[in-house]
Structure 1
Amino acid sequence: MAKLTTIGFDADDTLWQNERFFRLTQDRFADLLRDYADPDHLMDRLLQAEKRNIQHYGFGIKGFVLSMIETALDVTENRVPAPVIRALIDAGQDMLQHPIELLPHARAAVEAVADTHRVLLITKGDLIDQERKLAQSGLGDLFDGVEIVSHKTRPVYEGIFARHGDGPRCGMMIGNSMKSDVLPMVQAGGWGVYVPHGLVWDIEHADPPENAPRFITLSDLGGLKPLLDQIDDEPD
């Protein structure tokens, strides 16, 4: 077995809160459009807009706000009042300024593995917003490398772990998204560690890899150091 040398952490909803703020903004969106659309129908229309727009805007708050505005125009047949558009823009700006809230065990987990492994932050989303969150998290100095990418795929992980480490077979990716953090890393031959957050964006849903020996689920990041000790103790 290849020795584990490099560990990647996802950022949003793995190290700090993120999806919760999207859900709160969606509730605000539904309230603003309550005279025009049923909330369930509105959320379905918003999700479809987000799926269409990822290829244009990428992941992150800015694309989310543009998708809300597009959906508001669609469900009102272009009659949405200007104050509603203003309120949606304000909601997005509030999200971009929200203080970072680290998740339980996040700092301790990164600090513990940084002593023994190369540690990477691998996240997708808007460059400026992700850089802001990393700076405010207070974790930036713990990482040997930071990669902010448009998509998380097998080739992306292969390239990152080759540049920063000894290839994906000597690497581990930890995150809350089965689709983005776990599956492509396991496909690349590395370890994929799933740490459920509880709130998952519908676009990130995926089934776990069946019978994959390098797929592991942890209830929280507090279990990471014991897991690494166990892996390191296994014979090559």
Structure 2
Amino acid sequence: LAGKLIDFGVAKLNSPHRISPEQRIEQINKTLETLESVPEVGQHPARPPIEATESQEEASSAPVATVTTQRAETAPQKGDVATACVPCALGHFSTSAGLLNEAVRFKKDGITSLEIIDRIAKVLEEQNTLERVDLTPENIRNSPEWERDIAEEALQESRSLRHRLETIKTIEDLEQAAADTAAYYRKLYRTWWQRRFAKLGRVAEPEMSLDEAKKMAAEEAEKEVEKRWQSQAKT
């Protein structure tokens, strides 16, 4: 500070415009006041506190939103896929056999009889459901190994019956289709149960006679047809 005052005084003395001693003293005093207000090296003037704005106060007082996460639903695993339903195939063929046997009862009315046509339509519906829902390729692939060949055969027989009925022309065709369907139903029923008993390690019952199988198939088919017919009548 003293060095600055000396430099200032010397400069004024050497100035071409000389001033009076009183004016020089007054200028020196003003310079001292100015220099005293300047902060020393390394120091910074304190900043006045910044007042929080109204919007900032509102933001700080606002409740903090809670973020919640939801877990995505777990996709069904491969093991959850339904297996091929050979018992369902038994049900469909049983119903179809019963419907075709009923249709034959109206043969005196001719192949164009509505009783015959309606029952053929129901058989086609049964077999379509079997092929498109119960015996799909995926279901057969996921079925027990001992059941797959039975399911494959049932699928082929269903397609054969459906194509046969779609091109039926005479009462003789209808009678033959009814007989073949009843025969295959018996075969499917016996094969599946014998294979199942063998898989479970049980001794299969003695094979029933043809008349017993026919009687059992007819009874089951009639019950199934009556049940489905009544349910459709209600709707």
For normalisation by structure 1, the TM-score amounts to 0.27
RCO (CA 8 Å, sep 6+): is it higher in 1 or 2? 1
Larger Rg: 2
For normalisation by structure 2, the TM-score amounts to 0.27
More helix by share: 2
